[in-house]
């Protein structure tokens, strides 16, 4: 029987894992520079947490969750995103007593039962941040600037920041009435989902992916024109903050975000590269979420970036991520005796910080040379009986073929000072 990985999942093989490592470490480093601390949350939570926070009229909850009953009869769901779990942890661990804002970041896998496409998987990765306790728009701009800094560090260009405000429960209640008046005469032409959203959550109808609904939604009244004074001031504050940081943006009133918990600021980074996979990252403010799941009322804001989409976008824009060469020296050896000596030498060199590879297969000298040439390892040393008895060997730089005779005890120094 042959096994293959499940639809919508994939292996990240050694030849591409370095890209992931670079992106992960750049993201962690930038978050660290901003004072965000990493949090690691469980892969699964009780289903109710997601119903409560993500919202039961959303596509994620209605169609995409991996939900199952465990052997103890509990309803369990593999996390479809990170915010719910982080907020649960914030409340459960009493983090509201920490100095505000509480700044957190994460790097997680997430699971959604979706139709497979390029950039859309059933298991995918999100890099995200969540910040709790700050109400003003400065923190909105701060988290957006983390993404700008990250893209810049990785060399990604051609991204477009789109911002919008979806108001607070007060302005939304008013707007929902206006929106329903607009959609009512079109309702019979719209999809089944929109018909059920009409009563429960008409805002959801704005970003319906069905073409016929999209055409109707495009002409709907815009929430941004009906914001209450406080929400308007918050949005103006965000714009001023972004302008001060030199971050350009567009206002896109069509962004309402797929999850229910958002209030006020919502934003996305989209690709401006033709033929790309659209949205790289989405985020927003969720001032009601902490209290919704049982904590003290605490404002919050966050984003999640799809790591696969980010890497696809890097590729689409032709931006290469540099490969680290962790192994610096290849030690060729020609007999069982020299292999043991090579292994001893390599063991010691690695402790001195020099990555080494040796042949363990008893390959011929030629085969070892060919292999060493292919790996891109920058230095080569041949260890034969003579080298072992004399304690000296030739160290060769593969780039230009130059050789130096050195003491076997001085290999690490010789490599370090080669170009000095």
Residues 225-264 close enough to bind ligand ATP by CB under 6 A: 258-259
DSSP alpha helices (H): ranges in 67-201? 83-92, 138-154, 169-183, 192-200
**282 is a site residue for ligand ATP (CB under 6 A):** yes
Are the C-beta atoms of 131 and 101 separated by less than 8 Å? yes
- 120-128, 164-172, 247-255, 328-336 -> range binding ligand ATP (CB under 6 A): 120-128
- In the list 44, 105, 124, 198, the residue contacting ligand ATP (rule: CB under 6 A) is 124
Taking residue 347's Cβ as centre, other Cβ atoms within 10 Å add up to 11
CA angle 402–408–409, rounded 5-degree value: 125
The Cα 248–Cα 233 span in angstroms is 19
Count Cβ neighbours within 10 Å for each residue of 98-128 and write b for 16 or more, e otherwise: eebbbbbbbbbebbbebeeeebbbbbbbbbb
Per-residue DSSP letter, 331: E
**204 is a site residue for ligand ATP (CB under 6 A):** no
The Cα 362–Cα 369 span in angstroms is 13
**304 is a site residue for ligand ATP (CB under 6 A):** yes
Residue among 86 and 281 whose Cβ is closer to ligand ATP: 281
The Cα 340–Cα 213 span in angstroms is 71
Residue among 304 and 408 whose Cβ is closer to ligand ATP: 304
Per-residue DSSP letter, 7: T
**112 is a site residue for ligand ATP (CB under 6 A):** yes
Residue among 36 and 262 whose Cβ is closer to ligand ATP: 262
Per-residue contact flags (x/-) with ligand ATP for residues 46 to 85, judged by CB under 6 A? -----------------------------------x----
**120 is a site residue for ligand ATP (CB under 6 A):** yes
CB of 213 to ligand ATP, least distance (A): 15
- 211-219, 287-295, 300-308, 348-356 -> range binding ligand ATP (CB under 6 A): 300-308
Which residues would be at the binding site for ligand ATP (CB under 6 A)? 81, 112, 114, 119-121, 124, 126, 258-259, 279-282, 304, 306, 308-309
């Amino acid at each position: 029987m042959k096994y293959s990985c499940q639809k919508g999942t994939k292996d990240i093989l050694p030849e591409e894992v370095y890209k992931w490592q670079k992106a992960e470490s750049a993201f962690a480093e930038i978050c660290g520079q901003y004072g965000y601390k990493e949090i690691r949350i469980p892969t699964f939570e009780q289903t109710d947490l997601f119903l409560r926070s993500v919202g039961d009229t959303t596509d994620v909850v209605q169609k995409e969750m991996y939900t199952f009953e465990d052997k103890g009869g509990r309803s369990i769901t593999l996390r479809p995103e990170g915010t719910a779990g982080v907020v649960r942890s914030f409340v459960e661990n009493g983090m509201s007593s920490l100095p505000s804002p509480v700044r957190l970041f994460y790097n997680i896998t997430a699971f959604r039962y979706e139709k497979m496409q390029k950039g859309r998987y059933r298991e995918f990765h999100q890099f995200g941040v969540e910040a709790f306790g700050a109400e003003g728009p400065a923190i909105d701009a701060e988290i957006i600037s983390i993404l700008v800094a990250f893209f810049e560090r990785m060399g990604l260009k051609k991204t477009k920041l789109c911002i919008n405000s979806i108001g607070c429960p007060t302005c939304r209640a008013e707007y929902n009435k206006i929106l329903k008046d607009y959609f009512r005469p079109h309702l019979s032409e719209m999809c089944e989902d929109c018909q059920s959203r009409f009563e429960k959550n008409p805002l959801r109808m704005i970003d319906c992916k069905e073409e016929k609904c999209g055409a109707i939604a495009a002409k709907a009244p815009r929430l941004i024109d009906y914001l209450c004074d406080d929400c308007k001031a918050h949005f103006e504050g965000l714009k001023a903050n972004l302008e001060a940081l030199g971050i350009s943006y567009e206002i896109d009133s069509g962004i309402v975000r797929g999850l229910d918990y958002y209030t006020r600021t919502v934003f996305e980074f989209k690709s401006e590269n033709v033929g790309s996979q659209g949205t790289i990252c989405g985020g927003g403010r969720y001032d009601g979420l902490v209290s919704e799941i049982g904590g003290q009322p605490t404002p919050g804001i966050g984003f999640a970036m799809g790591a696969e989409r980010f890497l696809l976008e890097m590729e689409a824009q032709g931006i290469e991520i540099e490969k680290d060469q962790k192994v610096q020296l290849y030690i060729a050896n020609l007999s069982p005796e020299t292999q043991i000596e090579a292994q001893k030498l390599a063991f010691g060199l690695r402790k001195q910080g020099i990555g080494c590879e040796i042949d363990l297969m008893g390959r011929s000298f030629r085969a070892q040379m060919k292999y060493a040439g292919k790996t891109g390892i920058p230095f080569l040393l041949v260890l034969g009986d003579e080298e072992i008895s004399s304690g000296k060997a030739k160290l060769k730089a593969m780039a230009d073929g130059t050789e130096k005779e050195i003491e076997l005890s001085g290999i690490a120094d010789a490599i370090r000072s080669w170009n000095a």
